[in-house]
Chains A and B, each alone.
Chain A
Amino acid sequence: MKPYYIPFTKEMKKDYTILIPTMLPMHFKMIISVLETYGYKLELLEKSGQEVTETGLKYVHNDTCYPAVLVVGQFIDALQSGKYDPHKTALMMFQTGGGCRASNYISLIRKALVKAGYEYVPVISFSFAGLEKHPGFRLNLPIIHGMLYAVLYGDLLMTLINQTRPYENHPGDAERLADRWCRKLALEIGHGKRISYRKVKKNYRLMLQDFAAIEKTLRPAVKVGVVGEIFVKYSPLGNNDLERFLVREGAETVVPGLMDFLLYCVYNELVDYQNYGQKYLKYLGSKVAYRFLCGKKNDVIAIMRQDGNFEAPTPFEETVKMAGGYIHHGTKMGEGWLLTAEMMELAHSGVKNIVCTQPFGCLPNHICGKGMMKPIKEKNPDVNIVAIDYDPGATRVNQENRLKLMLANAVPTEKRIPVAAK
C-alpha cells in the first residue's frame, strides 16, 4: 500500500534541509551535529514570540495541546519566512508513541502543512519505535550511540549551569562556558568515528573542573525543581522562559535530565511485560538496553560524586522506586509515573519547592501531576508544589504571580559544596 505520508527519500537526503523544533537547545545542537556527520543537513528552529503561537493557532485545532501549537507554529513560520526553499526542506519531529494525544503531533504537522499549502514537505518521524519508514532517514547504531552522548553531555551541562548560574560573580559565565563546551562536544561526537568512552569520561571531569573554576559567591538560595510535560518543562518557548524567571528571583533550579525520560520509555517496556506478558524477546532487549543506559547515567553520577563540587542527580533505579505508594508503573501515557516519581525524587534530595508544568488540559497530567499533589503533600507536608498551566491564552502575569506565591512560601537552603566522595 502506498504510504499515507510523504516519505523522506534517499534522493532528498542529498540536498534537503531538515528543520527541527527547539526543546533543549544544547542537547539538540549536539544531536544535530551527530546527524550532520552522516550526511544530513539540519537546522534548529529557535524563533520564539507571539508570532509563532499565532501561526500555530491558525493551522492546528485550538484545543490541541500547546506544544503542538508551538511546534506547528515554528515549522510553518520557517517555511513561510522565505529563508528555506520549501521544495528542498523536510521537517523532523521526535515521537514516542503511546496513548497520549501527543502521538498525533506528526499527523497534526502534516495536516497543518496541507492547510498551509506545503503538502509536499516530508515530515520525518524520529522514533526509536520505528512508527514510520523513511528510506532516506535510517537510524543506525553509530548514530544512536552518538546521540546517546549528546543527551548525557546535554544533561550534565544543564545540571552544571543550573547549579552555577545563581551564584556566579560575573553574570553569564556559566552560560558562556556551557556554550563553549557544547560546541566542542558537538565537534567531538560529530566526527563520525568511534567514540571513546574513556574520552567521554575525561570530558565529564574536565567539564566539572571548568564549572567549578567559575568565580562564585555562595549564599542561601531557594531550590526549585521543575517537572512536567516534557516540552513545556524544557523549552523556554513553551514555558515563558521559566528558568530565567526563577534565576532572576534568586532561585536555583533543578531540572531532571532528558536521559530520565528515555530511561522511562525503556523501563515501560519492562513493566508492560510484567503487566501484560507477551513478547519475551523484546522484553529481554529492553532489559539489556535499560541496564546499559542506567550504567551510563550512573557513570556520570559517580564521576560527579568523585569530583565533589556539584550535586549529582539521583540514579534512575532510585527514581523508579520513588513512585511507590503513589502511582503504579503501569501509568505510562505522556510522562506517566515518571512525573510523580520526579516530584518525589526532588523532595527526597532536599528540593522541596516544585513547579509542575503542563499545557492547559494535558490529559495524563490530570492524573500524574495534579492528581498526585494531594497524596504527595499529605505524606510530605514540607513539600511546596505549584501547578502552572501553559497555553496560548495564559499570560505571564498570572503564571509569575503563582510562582511568586510558591517562592514566598519557600525556605532558602544553605548552599554548600557537597563533600567529595572518597
Chain B
Amino acid sequence: MPGSLYLGIDIGSTTVKVVLRDDEQVLFDCYERHFSRVREKTAELLEQIRPLVGGRELAFAVSGSAGLGLAEAIGAPFVQEVFATGEVVKRLEPDTSCVIELGGEDAKIIFFDGGMDERMNGSCAGGTGAFIDQMATLLNVTVDELDRLSEGCTRLYPIASRCGVFAKTDIQPLLNQGARKEDVAASIFQAVVNQTIAGLAQGKRIRGKVLFLGGPLYYCKGLRRRFIETLKLSPENAVFPEYGRFAVAYGASMYAAEQKERFTLDQLLDRVRNSQSKTPMQDRLKPLFESEAEYEAFAARHAKTRVPERSLSDYAGKAYLGIDCGSTTTKLVLLSEENEILYSYYASNQGNPVEIMREQLLKLRQETEGRVEIAGSAVTGYGEELIKNAFSVDYGLVETIAHYTAAKYFRPDVDFILDIGGQDIKCFKIRNGAIDSIMLNEACSSGCGSFLETFARAMGYTVEDFARRGLAAEAPVNLGSRCTVFMNSAVKQSQKDGASVEDISAGLSISVVKNAIYKVIRAGSPDELGQHIVVQGGTFYNDAVLRAFERELGREVIRPAIAGLMGAYGAALYARRCRGSKLIDLEGLKTFTHTAKSTLCKGCTNHCHLTVNTFGGGRRFISGNQCERGAGLGEQDQSLPNLYAFKRDFLLSLPAGEGSRGVIGLPLALGMYELLPLWHGIFTHLGFRVQVSGMSSRSTYEKGQFSIPSDTACYPAKIMHGHVRILIKEGVDAVFYPCLTFNVDEHVSDNHYNCPVVAYYSELLRGNMEELSKTRFLYPYMDINNPRNMTEVLLKTLNHHFGGFTRREVAAAVKAGQEAYAAYMARVRGEGERALAFARKNGKRVMILAGRPYHIDAEIGHGIDKLATSLGFVVVSEDSVCHLAEPQRVKVLNQWTYHARLYRAARYAAEHADTELVQLVSFGCGVDAITTDEVRSILEEAGKYYTQIKIDEITNLGAVRIRLRSLLGALEEKE
C-alpha cells in the first residue's frame, strides 16, 4: 500500500505556498504571488498537483495570515504559521538555536535556546518583504535588481527601519542628494536587519545556529549578507535552507499528517471554489459615484480649471522656467511672457533627479536655441539645493511658497491649499494674503501618494488603472484613517473577506483623504479648512481621491488641471522677478558631469556623513551635513547664541571629582539631562568620581539596541540602553538612574510628575539588560523635592551597596547637589535672557526650540538647533525663557514639570513679536499627544505660527529644513 499524501497550504499576505508530501518525500512545492485572489490562486495551484495525486486521498492543513479566513470558510484544519515553522525546524534541524523568518508583511523570530520563545512583528509592518518591495519601487528597480545593486556597496547609511514611511523619509533625500544607489540598496537591507533585531528580538540575543526562512531571505543575497555581518555569524551558524520559502507550508503538511479526515483532490477543490467567507463582511462605504451621470458632471466641472497653453515650437521671446524636484517626481514648467505654458514635464525622477534635469534642460536648450531666452529660473522641492547648485538655477524657494504662488493664480482668494504628493501631505491656510499656518504630515503618515502606487503595483495594476477601477467601486471597504503602513493589514483583512480590487482601490483613496483631513489637518468640520480650497499634487490626478475628498468635506474644491505641476508652475511665476538669468547654457550642459562621493565631515565632533556632489566647472554641492559648516559656507552664523549648545557644553564640562569612594556612572539620557548637576553635585561631594556616559551618537543607540523590549517607546528612552552599556564597559562601580515619580516642583502647575517612561525606565533596564547584573545598579525611589527623604533614601542605598556613609555627610551632599542644580538653572535662565537681549540688540529673530531637556542631545535633537542658527535664529530652550511668562492655565491637566515649562514658553512666544516657538516632539511620546494641542492653541490665539517637528531615529534634516524655511518664508511675507 502506498504511503499517505500530506498537503500543506500556506497563504501569506502576498504569496501562496504549497507543499505536497508522500510520507517523508516532498513531491511538489511551489511559491507564487496571489495578488489578493486567494481562492483562485489556491485552486490553480491545486490543479497543478493533480497528476501527482491521481485518485489518491490526501490529508491537508492550512496556515498563514491570509489562510485563516480560507480555513474557516472551508472548514479546514488551521495551524498558526509561527507554530508550524517551529515544528518543522524541530524535526529537520534540531540543533538550531534561533529562526528568523521574513515574509511579505510578517517577520517572525523563534528562539529554541532556554525554552521555546516565538515572536511576531506587532502592529508595525516595517522590516518585512513589503518594506523591501516598497523601497525597491522607490529606487525604481525590481527587488532582484535591488539585491544585485547591494553587492556593490561601499558604505552604509543609517536608515530608520521602524516603518517604511520613515525609511522613505531617510532614503529620498539620500537619493536626491546623489548618494549611490548601491549604498542605498545595502542600507535598506541593513534597516531590515536592524528592525529584526530591535523590533523582534526584544532584548534577547540572537546567537548560535541561526536558520533563515521566508521568501525575502531566499531571494535577497544582499539581505543575507547584512544579517551575517551584523550578527557576526560564522558560515556554519548561518543556515539558508533550500526549503526556506516553504517552511510554513511544510509545517502545515506535518500538521495535516495528524488529521484524521482524508479528501480526494476534487472534494478539496470543490470546497475551495464554493466557499463563502463566514466571517462578517468588513464595513463598507457608499460608492464614490451613484451613477454614470454623476461622474460625468464631476469630470466636466473639474475640466474647467485649465491654464492656457501655447506651442513651444513657434514661440519666440522670453520664457521662465520653474522646476519642482520632488521626493519621487521631477516637474518642470516653462512659461511664456503671458504666463502660457510652453512646455511641461512630469515624471518619476527614478532616483536620479540630476540626470533627468540634464536631459530635460538639454532638450529645451537645443530645441529653442536662438529663439527662446530663458530669462529666469527657480527651483523648489526636496532636491532644490542639489539642482540649484548643479545647474546654476537663479532662485531656490521653499515648496510652500511655490505652491501658494501657483494657487493664488487660480483663485486669488484661496484660503486653504492641500497638496498631496508622492511622499508628503502639505497643507496651509492663508490669512490676509499670507501663509498663516503650515501643516506637514508627521513622518508616520506620509507617503500617501506613493503608497497608492505601491499598492496598485502589488496588486498588478498601473496606478491609473487602479484609480479608474476605484471610481466604479460599488461598496468601498472602510480602511480607517491611520498610518498607511497599518493599512496593509486592513487591506489584508478585506481581501480575506473577498473584497474586489475596485472596492479596495476606492477604500484606499478614501483612507488617504481621511488621513489628510483627520490626521494632518485634524479638522472637526469642513468649515475649519476654508471657503476656497485648492487641492493639488500628483495624487489629486487620481479622480477617486479627489472625489473622496469632496465627499468627505461635503463641498466642491478646485483642482487645477496642472495639479501635479503646481510647485513648478509657482516656481516659474516666481522666476519672473529675475533680472539676468545665470542658468546653465547649452555648452555647459553638453560638458556637464556629475559625481557623488561620500565622506565624513570633520567640521566638528558630530562627524556627519556627507555626500559631496561635484559638477563640471568646479561647482560643488555638499549634502547630509547638519549645519552649514560642512557645506563650506563659513561660520558667520555660529556666533549666534544657542542655548542648546550652552547647556550641552555646561553639562559635559562638569569636573569628574576625586574618586576616593569609587566611580559612579550616570547615563546621560532622559531625566539625567535635567538633573545631572544635582546628582553630580551629590556624588562628587561624597567623594565619588562621576563618570558621565556623554553625548549620544547613532552608535550609542546601536550598542544597546538588542536589549530594547518595547520598540514603540520613544527614541530618548531606547538610547538609554546604549548609555548604560557604555558605563558598564568603562568599568564603573555603580550605575545610577533613580526612579522619580515626581520631578522638580516649580510650583506653577497642578502637579509635577515625570512621564512614566522617564520615571520608571530603570525598572525596564534592570529586567532587560543582562550586563546590569554584573555591576551595582542603583535606582532608588525618592522625592527630589524633599531633602530629608533624599538623604534617607541615598543613605540607605549607599550603605547597602558601598557602606561607611553617615547621615550627616549625605545630608550635606544633598544640600550641595541641590545648590548646584539651582545654580545651573539660574545660569540657564541668565543665558536665556542674555540671548534674548542679544537678539533684540542685533535685530535677530528668536526661536524657542521647545522640547524636553533631553532633546538637547546631539543625536536625539539631530542638530536642529544648529540648523536654526544657520537660518539666522537665536536659539533658546524652553527652560531658559519660561520664567519670563506667567504660569499658564491650560485646558488639560497641567501635571508634568517639563510640560508646564512648555506652556509658559509658548506664552512668552505669544507675547513677543520677534519670537517663534518650534516644538520638538519625540515619536511615540504619548504625553505630547496632549501637550501639542495646548501649545498650538496658546500660540494661535495670539496669531502666531505653530510649528511642530516630530523626531525619531531619522537623521536627515531635509524635511525639518523645509519646515523651518517655510516658517521663515511665512514670517517674511507677513512683514
* Interface residue ranges, A against B (CB under 8 Å): 4, 49-50, 53-54, 57-59, 61-65, 98-101, 103-104, 106-108, 110-111, 115-116, 275-278, 326-328, 330-334, 360-368, 370-375, 377-378, 381-382, 387, 389, 391-398, 400-402, 404-405, 407-409
B756 touches A (CB below 8 Å): yes
Known interface pairs A4-B889, A62-B518, A402-B120. Does A101 touch B709 (Cβ–Cβ under 8 Å)?
Answer: no
Binds A, one of B32-40, B53-61, B478-486: B478-486
B204 touches A (CB below 8 Å): yes
B421 touches A (CB below 8 Å): no
Residue from A115, A371, A382, A405 in contact with B764 in the complex, judged by beta carbons closer than 8 Å: A371
With the chains together, A62 CA to B933 CA distance in Å?
Answer: 11
Decide: B524 and A328 in contact? CB cutoff 8 A: no
Contacts of A392 in B (CB 8 A): 480-482
Decide: B120 and A374 in contact? CB cutoff 8 A: no
Decide: B767 and A374 in contact? CB cutoff 8 A: yes
In the complex, which residue of chain B has the Cβ closest to the Cβ of A404?
Answer: B80
Residue from B122, B204, B756 in contact with A387 in the complex, judged by beta carbons closer than 8 Å: B122
Decide: A333 and B493 in contact? CB cutoff 8 A: no
Contacts of A64 in B (CB 8 A): 926, 929-930
CB distance from B160 to the nearest CB of A (A): 17
CB distance from A96 to the nearest CB of B (A): 12
B83 touches A (CB below 8 Å): yes
With the chains together, A4 CA to B710 CA distance in Å?
Answer: 37
With the chains together, A391 CA to B712 CA distance in Å?
Answer: 13
With the chains together, A404 CA to B81 CA distance in Å?
Answer: 9
B604 touches A (CB below 8 Å): no
Decide: A328 and B739 in contact? CB cutoff 8 A: yes
Decide: B204 and A374 in contact? CB cutoff 8 A: yes
Known interface pairs A61-B933, A328-B739, A366-B713. Does A397 touch B763 (Cβ–Cβ under 8 Å)?
Answer: no
Known interface pairs A275-B783, A395-B490. Does A108 touch B712 (Cβ–Cβ under 8 Å)?
Answer: no
In the complex, which residue of chain A has the Cβ closest to the Cβ of B444?
Answer: A63
Residue from B80, B763, B781 in contact with A275 in the complex, judged by beta carbons closer than 8 Å: B781
B788 touches A (CB below 8 Å): yes
Binds A, one of B217-225, B667-675, B850-858, B891-899: B891-899
Known interface pairs A99-B755, A392-B480. Does A397 touch B68 (Cβ–Cβ under 8 Å)?
Answer: yes
How many B residues, CB 8 Å from partner?
81
Decide: A405 and B120 in contact? CB cutoff 8 A: yes
New A-B pairs, 7, CB < 8 Å, besides A62-B518, A98-B753, A393-B482? A64-B926, A332-B741, A371-B764, A381-B114, A391-B482, A396-B493, A409-B118
Decide: A374 and B486 in contact? CB cutoff 8 A: no
Residue from B709, B760, B895 in contact with A373 in the complex, judged by beta carbons closer than 8 Å: B709
Known interface pairs A361-B926, A374-B767. Does A409 touch B116 (Cβ–Cβ under 8 Å)?
Answer: yes
Decide: B783 and A401 in contact? CB cutoff 8 A: no
B519 touches A (CB below 8 Å): yes
In the complex, which residue of chain A has the Cβ closest to the Cβ of B108?
Answer: A405
Interface residues of B in 761-784 (CB under 8 A from A): 761, 763-764, 766-768, 781-783
With the chains together, A373 CA to B531 CA distance in Å?
Answer: 53
The A/B interface has a contact count, at CB < 8 Å, of 223
Known interface pairs A371-B764, A371-B767. Does A104 touch B741 (Cβ–Cβ under 8 Å)?
Answer: no
CB distance from A328 to the nearest CB of B (A): 6
* Interface residue ranges, B against A (CB under 8 Å): 65, 68-69, 78-83, 114-118, 120, 122-123, 202-204, 283, 478, 480-483, 486-487, 489-490, 492-493, 496, 518-519, 522, 524, 709-710, 712-713, 717, 739, 741-742, 751, 753-757, 759-761, 763-764, 766-768, 781-783, 786, 788-789, 792-793, 889, 891-893, 895-896, 924, 926-930, 932-933
Contacts of A58 in B (CB 8 A): 518, 524
With the chains together, A266 CA to B120 CA distance in Å?
Answer: 37
Contacts of A387 in B (CB 8 A): 122
Decide: B891 and A276 in contact? CB cutoff 8 A: no
Known interface pairs A375-B767, A408-B80. Does A61 touch B713 (Cβ–Cβ under 8 Å)?
Answer: no
Decide: A398 and B123 in contact? CB cutoff 8 A: yes
With the chains together, A396 CA to B496 CA distance in Å?
Answer: 12
In the complex, which residue of chain B has the Cβ closest to the Cβ of A95?
Answer: B893
Which of B751, B756, B763, B786 has most chain A Cβ within 10 Å? B756
Contacts of A331 in B (CB 8 A): 739, 759-760, 763
With the chains together, A364 CA to B926 CA distance in Å?
Answer: 10
Can you pick out 22 interface pairs between chain A and chain B where the beta carbons lie within 8 Å of each other?
Answer: A49-B283, A50-B283, A62-B482, A62-B929, A99-B759, A100-B756, A276-B782, A276-B789, A278-B786, A363-B756, A367-B761, A367-B764, A368-B763, A371-B709, A389-B122, A391-B123, A392-B481, A393-B482, A395-B486, A397-B69, A397-B496, A404-B80
Decide: B79 and A408 in contact? CB cutoff 8 A: yes
Known interface pairs A107-B892, A333-B741, A395-B493. Does A62 touch B522 (Cβ–Cβ under 8 Å)?
Answer: yes
With the chains together, A106 CA to B891 CA distance in Å?
Answer: 10
With the chains together, A108 CA to B83 CA distance in Å?
Answer: 42
With the chains together, A276 CA to B738 CA distance in Å?
Answer: 14
Decide: A276 and B783 in contact? CB cutoff 8 A: yes
Decide: B741 and A99 in contact? CB cutoff 8 A: yes
Decide: A99 and B753 in contact? CB cutoff 8 A: yes
Decide: A405 and B82 in contact? CB cutoff 8 A: yes
CB distance from B362 to the nearest CB of A (A): 46
With the chains together, A278 CA to B741 CA distance in Å?
Answer: 15
With the chains together, A64 CA to B933 CA distance in Å?
Answer: 11
Known interface pairs A99-B753, A107-B892. Does A377 touch B115 (Cβ–Cβ under 8 Å)?
Answer: yes
CB distance from A351 to the nearest CB of B (A): 17
Known interface pairs A402-B120, A405-B120. Does A61 touch B760 (Cβ–Cβ under 8 Å)?
Answer: no
Which of B69, B122, B204, B763 has most chain A Cβ within 10 Å? B763
CB distance from B120 to the nearest CB of A (A): 6
Known interface pairs A366-B757, A374-B768. Does A4 touch B480 (Cβ–Cβ under 8 Å)?
Answer: no
Contacts of B118 in A (CB 8 A): 405, 409
With the chains together, A369 CA to B526 CA distance in Å?
Answer: 40
With the chains together, A108 CA to B789 CA distance in Å?
Answer: 35
Known interface pairs A327-B763, A328-B781. Does A110 touch B891 (Cβ–Cβ under 8 Å)?
Answer: yes
Decide: B492 and A397 in contact? CB cutoff 8 A: yes
Residue from A4, A63, A398 in contact with B926 in the complex, judged by beta carbons closer than 8 Å: A63
